[in-house]
Amino acid sequence: MGTGRRGFLLGTAGALAAAGTASAAPGGVTWVLTNNVGYEADGPKRAVIACSTPGVHRFELVEHGTGKVVHRGTAKHVGPVADWKANQFPAVPSFYSVADFSGFTRSGEFVLSTDGAVSRPFVVEPLVLERRTLPHVVRFFKDSRSFGEYDRVDRSLPYEPDPSVRVDAHGGWYDAAADWSKHFTQLSRYSFCNTLQLPLTAYVLWAAYDELTRREVADFRHLRELLHDEALYGADYLVRVQMPGGSFYGSVRQPQEDDIGIDPSKRFLRMGPLNYREGCGVAVAALARAARGSVDGEFPRSRYLAAAEAAFSFLQVNNVRLTNDGKENIQDDYNVLLAAVELFKATSKAEYRAEADRRASSLVARLMPRGNFRADDKDRPYFHPSDAGMPVVALLAYSSIAGSEVLAAVRKSLEFELSITGAVPNPFGYARQVVQTAAGERFDGFFFPHDAAGTWWQGENARLASLAAAARLAAARFDAAFAARLRSYAADQLSWIVGCNPFDVCMLEGSGRTAPIYLEYPDGSAVGSWRWIRAAGGIVNGVTGRGADGRGIEWDPGVASSGPNTDWRWLEQWIPHSTWFLYAVAAG
């Protein structure tokens, strides 16, 4: 993410808590926190009642507009959350109860009321997230396309190691609301936290298109057309940035990437050839899937397949030497697995099926007795800031060509995710994880340690959405009872993103009622600038741990608390968040 001159105005959550809102009872001691967008008519429905004192809460579901009570219940006490109570900013309530009204299935607009406190209005209806978030999310990628003078310059960029080499790298998507670079990944120097960025989006656009097609809902037609167009656009960019010999160039960069006024002529192409875990695996998968399409993009489908096969052939020989530490790890396994699966589907060649078999076996062998994956060849736990659901997603993709033989491993992994999430009071169902600090300390926690990827850390909405995608994709493969648990877990992650969190903030622009404010303070100005225009469908980074080890909870701290150049950790829209959210919602 960008790290330049950015400041921050203390945002929505703290101001609401201080001033009181429609969610607060007299005295400001009770809040009713809900999914800001709405709940699936036949799906899980949970709201959280947050208080400064413990108590029993009876709640009523009230029809918005008429005041008619349509459902009553008693909330289940599940708090406090010890980790958050010990270290928090801004202050969060100490006690929580969960109001479950999953049995209510009637469509309409409602509020939930308890002890004089009332939630924000929300809807209940079939396909609520598909209808009310995907139109924004799908268009977000078009809004994030490289454009104008920047895109014109990108048609002939100098390659940083040898400026005499010029590359046509136009197209693709900008990385973030305040970063007009284009990245395959940004954490290449670290072994276990390579974030998948632009090529992941190229792949997920195809995957989401396939999921919506599979579901055969007539109302998805326009969404599918938009996804198909955007997926071809992504494949075209990947062809352009393929290096001679097979692999890919890395990032289109510019000095001070978060300065909107930078001279476009100073942009350049950096890094390459990349390895599998730097995004080449999902790039190959995206190209191979594009080759199976029904129409050509800027390039013919045969060119997509040739690019995919050339990259795979090169990296099968050279991948290890291109890694930062000379070793492959779990990220290589799931990247290669996705690539091999898509290549096999496109060609039916035995060599791709054999490599898919090998990588699937390697992933399964990484399962620890507890059910979590190990990242290395020893026992380092796999935890990831944005792609935590990828091992399961890759194994499920493999099952589409190999049958059910890996489903036992998938179930073991997901049983672990459910278990660790429910092991402590956790009213919002936030996906917990096994983490390891830079010093080697391991523990079960909520948030990513700040030093696990050097100085890079941020909110984890992509991680949550990736786990929601994995759970939703898996649900259809298991018995009804386990599927219901998976769908409930996934709903909790998506609800957190769209408002059901301790700060009552919807982190998806354009669909909720409490989107946060993102301001920059250029050149030390005391007046915040809104020059970074946010796009509907974009999702901000999100909530983090407050302590350096990831313990505690923090959101929207303000420049006075955290200092300059830090606000992006919570409030910058980043393309992997919307990418994973798209996949999770499309999976249904």
3-state secondary structure 246-307: CCECCEEECCCCCCCCCCHHHCEEECCCCCHHHCHHHHHHHHHHHHCCCCCCCCCHHHHHHH
pLDDT band at 261 (very low <50, low <70, confident <90, very high): low
Whether 8 has a pLDDT exceeding 60, the answer reads: no
Tell me: pLDDT of 464 over 90. yes
Q: Return mean pLDDT, the chain.
A: 91
Three-state secondary structure call for residue 468: helix
pTM (2 decimals)? Answer: 0.94
Give the tens place of pLDDT for each residue, 91-100. 999 999 999 9
Angstrom CA distances, 202 to 173, 282, 366, stand at: 10, 8, 27
Residue showing tokens 């910058």 = 572
State yes or no: pLDDT of 67 exceeds 70.
yes
Q: What is the pLDDT of residue 526?
A: 65
Query: pLDDT band at residue 524, thresholds of 50, 70 and 90?
Result: low
pLDDT at 326 over 90: yes
- Let me know: does 557 contact 89? Beta carbons within 8 Å: yes
pLDDT in tens, 419-454: 999 999 999 999 999 999 999 999 999 999 999 988
pLDDT higher than 60, residue 17: no
Calpha distance 280→194 (Å, rounded): 11
> What confidence category does residue 4 fall into, taking pLDDT thresholds of 50, 70 and 90?
very low
pLDDT at 12: 29
Selected residue with higher pLDDT from 324 and 254: 324
Give the integer Cα–Cα distance in Å for 199 and 324.
20
Q: How confident is the model at residue 11 (pLDDT cuts 50, 70, 90)?
A: very low
pLDDT level of residue 28 (50, 70, 90 thresholds)? very low
490 vs 23: which has the higher pLDDT: 490
Quick one: pLDDT band at residue 147, thresholds 50, 70, 90? very high
State residue 24's pLDDT score. Answer: 38
Q: Per-residue pLDDT averaged across 152-162, rounded?
A: 95
Mean pLDDT, rounded, for 476-485: 98
What mean pLDDT is predicted for residues 229-241? 98
| Structure-token pair, residue 234 | 């992504």
Query: 547-567: per-residue pLDDT in tens?
Result: 999 999 999 776 656 666 677
What are the pLDDT digits (tens) for 526-554?
666 777 778 899 999 999 999 999 999 99
